[in-house]
Amino acid sequence: MHTPLTEPPPAAGPEHLERQRAAITRLGHELRALVEATVRTVASPDTLHRVADGVRHVTGQLTGRQRARTEIPEVDGFPGGPRMYSPVVGAGSPLAPPVSITPTDDGLIGHCTLGIAHEGPPGYGHGGMSAMLLDELMGQACTAAGTPGLTVSLQMRYHQPIPLETPLRILGRVTGTDNRKIFVTGAITTEAAPSTDLVTADGVFIAPDPDRVRALFPGLPEEA
């Protein structure tokens, strides 16, 4: 069992971070391929047991120091930067699609394709996955607008099921503010039919005060 650090490790240089992120991205890609193969396979029990033994052996190689729950990974740029292990946008996460995000004139747009690992009804994405995609894009839209916030409420409307293995667009846009409250809208469409909303959402986010930020994220550097 590892012992969590009381202080984060020293900051790494740009070259080390670049190499680390590249390695994390490669491993994340291979793990997503493994997850997708796992949920699609019709292999025999003997094959599955053999693969499970192999996976256990591989897992055993990722030993040594493990980061603590509140420790921000050195490869992350939180807040407002890359999140390598995010289950939505993280290139290193075996759970993420992952979503790539670009700015628009009035918000953000994300692009991804859900696989069988994200399945709810057969052939379609899980409704909770839609909520997670929108929560991420809408939250990042707050940050892009200069008003980072935490989710207070997210009202979802499911118009049509989200097809798997189909390129998707996820939109997030700040529509207004009221003191510390930030109002945001979002939508999911396919790339092929961007004018047809499959899922839409209205959200309220709140910009926490500095003391609250420090309490929630004790791993933030002092200058953040």
Chain segment 192-202, per-residue pLDDT in tens:
999 999 999 99
pLDDT attached to residue 223: 62
Alpha-carbon distance of 98 to 188, in angstroms, equals 15
pLDDT attached to residue 84: 96
Residue 153: closest CA among 176, 128, 126, 135: 135
- pTM score, whole prediction: 0.89
CA angle 14–16–20, rounded 5-degree value: 115
Compute the average pLDDT of residues 7-30.
85
Tally of helices (H runs) and strands (E runs) in the chain: 4, 6
pLDDT attached to residue 11: 62
Q: Which residue has the higher pLDDT, 81 or 52?
A: 52
Secondary structure letter of residue 29 according to DSSP:
H
Compute the average pLDDT of residues 46-50.
98
β-pairing verdict for 181-190 and 100-103 = unpaired
The neighbouring-strand residues paired with 100 are 111
- Asked if 138 and 130 count as a contact pair (C-beta separation under 8 A), the reply is no
Alpha-carbon distance of 224 to 218, in angstroms, equals 11
pLDDT attached to residue 2: 47
DSSP class per residue in 2-20 = ----SSPPPPPPHHHHHHH
Compute the average pLDDT of residues 193-218.
92
Q: How many C-beta atoms surround the C-beta of residue 98 within 10 A?
A: 22
pLDDT digits (tens, 9 = 90+) for 135-189: 999 999 999 999 999 999 999 999 999 999 999 999 999 999 999 999 999 999 9
pLDDT attached to residue 224: 56
Average pLDDT in the chain: 92
pLDDT band at 48 (very low <50, low <70, confident <90, very high): very high
Query: Residue 172: helix, strand or coil by DSSP?
Result: strand
Instruction: Inform me whether the pLDDT recorded for 104 exceeds 90.
Output: yes
Alpha-carbon distance of 103 to 202, in angstroms, equals 19
pLDDT band at 216 (very low <50, low <70, confident <90, very high): confident
Count the alpha carbons within 13 Å of 168 in the hemisphere toward its beta carbon: 30
